[in-house]
Amino acid sequence: DAKTTQPPSMDCAEGRAANLPCNHSTISGNEYVYWYRQIHSQGPQYIIHGLKNNETNEMASLIITEDRKSSTLILPHATLRDTAVYYCIVRVGGGYSTLTFGKGTMLLVSP
Partner 1 sequence: EAGVTQFPSHSVIEKGQTVTLRCDPISGHDNLYWYRRVMGKEIKFLLHFVKESKQDESGMPNNRFLAERTGGTYSTLKVQPAELEDSGVYFCASSQDFGTMNTEAFFGQGTRLTVV
Residue 57: CB atoms within 10 A of its CB come to: 11
Does 8 help bind partner 1 (rule: CB under 8 A)?
no
Q: Which stretch binds partner 1 (CB under 8 A): 6-14, 19-27, 44-52, 73-81?
A: 44-52
Q: Are strands 9-13 and 105-110 parallel, antiparallel or unpaired?
A: parallel
Does 53 help bind partner 1 (rule: CB under 8 A)?
no
Contact present, 61 and 55 (Cβ < 8 Å): yes
Does 59 help bind partner 1 (rule: CB under 8 A)?
no
Contact present, 99 and 34 (Cβ < 8 Å): yes
Does 44 help bind partner 1 (rule: CB under 8 A)?
yes
Closest approach of partner 1 to the CB of residue 40, in Å = 11
Give CA torsion, residues 63, 110, 41, 75, to 10 deg. Answer: -20
In angstroms, the CA 5 to CA 13 distance is 23
Q: Which stretch binds partner 1 (CB under 8 A): 16-24, 63-71, 73-81, 92-100?
A: 92-100
Size of the site for partner 1 (CB under 8 A): 22
Does 106 help bind partner 1 (rule: CB under 8 A)?
no
Closest approach of partner 1 to the CB of residue 55, in Å = 12
